Structure 1
Amino acid sequence: MSIDEVATGSRRQLVDHARTVAEQADQHAVTLESMLAILRSPRLGDRAARTAAIDTATTALIGLRTATDEQRSSMLEPVTGAFRRLRDDLGPLTRFGHLEVELVEPPASGRALPGEVAHGARAMVRTAVLALVDRGDAHRVRIQWDCDGLNLLVGIRDDGRGELSVHDDWLRPIAERVAALDGVLAVTSTPGWGSSIDVRLPLDPRPEPHPLADLIPLTSREKDVLRLVASGARNHAIARELMISDNTVKFHVSNLLRKTGAATRSELAALAVSHYEHDDPRRAYP
């Protein structure tokens, strides 16, 4: 990439950021004007005005959080900073409720979190706390974040009835977020003593499989034959496609079996299908 292309990309990012900030400022102004209009309206009583204002503010807050998290999704967040945002998020949810929240901060030396992981972890905890507030059977919840160098570890422990299972409907949004981040979710309950939700979220993306040709040195012709074997084509069809003899195809297939360690042609095809993701091995051949 040239210097001019880099400079153009940077200018585009600055313009996009400025436009986003301006749009958010406009949205905030509209929200505040709407709330003032609601509170000043002579047609609404105190209770109705308060309900309408709360609904307007809640909708705006959700939109702001979503936009902010989307902007930060590609950035790294210090683990302590991400946890501090979680503390701020939970404040309004629990300030006037019966649920006591204990927050155990992660070590400051923990790895920075990818924005997507930090956002997902906060959303999971918020979902769990909201569910506990609505259910009303727990009086205390302990929330802990930790890092083991490779994963963000999230623990949520309540003192409720201890009847929670991984199949509960309100856990579905958490399970879906965990799956989207290639994480692991575990739920344990002890009747009368409470339940625990434990989540492990990897900090590094799952490595993409390497094409077979990158792992094993193959000639150009062997690559062609391997691709066609993976498609399910037989020797005669491969020979006709590549305009070589059937015996030459057999020779290349024999070499491929030896190089890959595959015991059979079917095993060779399976290896090729699993590794040649950049190609289309399912293409039909005559």
Structure 2
Amino acid sequence: MVDPHQVVSSLIPLVSAALPEIPERLRELIEPLVPHRALVIFTEDCTGRPQKKAGDPVITDQVTLLELDAVRRRMRGTPGAVSDAVIAGSGRPVCAWLAGTGALLVLCEPTTGAEPDAATRKTIQAMWEIAALRIRQQVSEAPASFMSQSHAVASERLRVTTELVDRHSTDLEVILAALRSTQLSDRQARASATELATAALIAAKTGSDVVVELSEEPVAEAFTRLRGDLRPLSRYGSLAVHFVEPPRDGRALPGEIAHAARAIVRSAILSMNNQDAVSKVLVQWDCDGTNLLIIIRDDGAGQLGDDDPGMRQIRSRAAAFGGTVSLDNVPDWGSDLRIALPLDPPRSREDERWDLAPREREVLGQLVRGSRNRDIARHLHISENTVKFHLSQLYRKLGVGSRAEAVALAVSAGSPQVGSGKEGS
């Protein structure tokens, strides 16, 4: 007979885990049920670092978001059923589950060789639902500095973009090879090239969709999710929350801005609800093209102050993104809180000087370390052709004509540590 106390106790490390620890804690729970080589998570709740993984580094260091997205798009039928998928560049057996949050769990190379039975699949599904909710909670409560860093770096999005560039380069080479082939007639070469180009276009569209999904959240969808987050306040309490919808065709929000905006609204409403005589709160989002504009008003006594813990948290979150906060209290008429969050990340000193993209900063950092093209490609998980492309862009922006000149300029400018190339999971 299953011991309920043992079951609950086994979940404590998972529900109490910090965000970076969740994959390993989840793997410890699942391993006795389904031994596997690696565990990989794909969640759009954490847009800056949507990949989370534990297990064999041969898999975890090489798995890509495009591969995980392909698994997610193909998921049909029974969750946890064994199927074949390309993971870390090779075909492997996998078991996959989707959580209610939309997050994907993939167990790579289950070592039993047999498909998990129905009871085991349901147990893992329940564990995964708890882990996925914990990830969403951790992201929503993440320090403003963490979200701001994700907004500025967006390392996973850069990696996906680089994967697309590599794939596009390979597709073009294959198409050219077909057209140049002496083994094919002109008609056969054209037919082959057309087929290859069609497949390449479909793959490119799929990949670009992944980049958009990771990068942005439509403002209407972000606001709908906010309404869902706040529904318990009006359903189970006496506070009435009124919403003024943003324009549905407004500019999409970067994922971290959407998370920050929802956290700000939650903090504001909780602070307003703690005041006397507050029965109604109005929440409005708008966009002026460069900023998300948030307006929150209550019908209380107008006593919300900057010493309130919620207000301190709001100012901290807004400041992390270069935003502004304005609080206006009118006695006996309520508090009026207005926040503006810039939709574009701040530019670094190197960006302003040379207009370098984040990947170009990473390549420059590798140059300063004396790395060759092959080493840079291996370190950044890109092809040597892509390294050459970034180098040509880098030389143009720096106004130099050689590797040595680029290194000399970077060192003389005091930037020996430009772009470490390390990307967190």
TM-score range, shorter chain: 0.5 to 0.7
**Structure 2 residue 233 is matched with structure 1 residue 93:** yes
Residue 189 of structure 1, aligned match among 329, 340, 345: 329
Cα distance, 1:27–1:104 mapped onto 2, change above 3 Å: farther
List per-residue Cα deviations over 1:95-153 (Å, max 9, x = no partner). Answer: 13221111101111210111111111111111222233333431111110000011100
Check whether the contact 2:281–2:298 (CA below 8 A) recurs between aligned residues.
yes
Cα distance, 1:77–1:213 mapped onto 2, change above 3 Å: closer
Report what 1:162 is aligned to: 302
Letter in structure 2 aligned against 1:76? E
List per-residue Cα deviations over 1:13-56 (Å, max 9, x = no partner). Answer: 55699465348975762599xxxxxxxxxxxxxxxxxxxxxxxx
Cα distance, 1:22–1:11 mapped onto 2, change above 3 Å: closer
Q: Distance in 1 between matches of 2:263 and 2:71?
A: 29
State the identity %: 38
Letter in structure 2 aligned against 1:63? R
Residue 29 of structure 1, aligned match among 113, 126, 138: 126
Residue 207 of structure 1, aligned match among 338, 342, 347: 347
Check whether the contact 1:93–1:130 (CA below 8 A) recurs between aligned residues.
no
Letter in structure 2 aligned against 1:29? A
Check whether the contact 1:106–1:145 (CA below 8 A) recurs between aligned residues.
yes
Check whether the contact 1:153–1:199 (CA below 8 A) recurs between aligned residues.
yes
Report what 1:63 is aligned to: 134
Structure 1 residue 76: deviation in Å? 1.3
**Structure 2 residue 256 is matched with structure 1 residue 116:** yes
Report what 1:80 is aligned to: 220
Q: Greater shift after overlay, 201-210 or 142-151?
A: 201-210
Q: Distance in 1 between matches of 2:235 and 2:265?
A: 16
TM-score by length of 1: 0.57
Letter in structure 1 aligned against 2:137? T
Q: Distance in 1 between matches of 2:137 and 2:352?
A: 37
List per-residue Cα deviations over 1:133-175 (Å, max 9, x = no partner). Answer: 3334311111100000111000101111112223322212222
Mark the runs of 5 or more structure 1 residues left unpaired by the alignment.
Answer: 1-5, 33-58, 229-271, 280-286
Cα distance, 1:27–1:217 mapped onto 2, change above 3 Å: same
List per-residue Cα deviations over 1:196-240 (Å, max 9, x = no partner). Answer: 111111111112334757789689889959966xxxxxxxxxxxx
Report what 2:282 is aligned to: 142
Report what 2:268 is aligned to: 128
Q: Which one has a larger percent helix, Structure 1 or Structure 2?
A: 1
Cα distance, 1:168–1:221 mapped onto 2, change above 3 Å: same
Letter in structure 2 aligned against 1:181? F
Mark the runs of 5 or more structure 2 residues left unpaired by the alignment.
Answer: 1-61, 74-95, 98-102, 107-120, 143-155, 157-211, 356-396, 419-425
- In structure 1, the residue corresponding to 2:232 is in which secondary structure? helix
Check whether the contact 1:143–1:157 (CA below 8 A) recurs between aligned residues.
yes
Cα distance, 1:205–1:162 mapped onto 2, change above 3 Å: same
Q: Distance in 2 between matches of 1:225 and 1:67?
A: 41
Structure 1 residue 60: deviation in Å? 8.2
Letter in structure 2 aligned against 1:11? E
Q: Distance in 1 between matches of 2:338 and 2:127?
A: 40
Q: Distance in 2 between matches of 1:79 and 1:134?
A: 28
Check whether the contact 1:156–1:196 (CA below 8 A) recurs between aligned residues.
yes
Root mean square deviation of aligned Cα: 4.3
Q: Distance in 2 between matches of 1:227 and 1:92?
A: 55
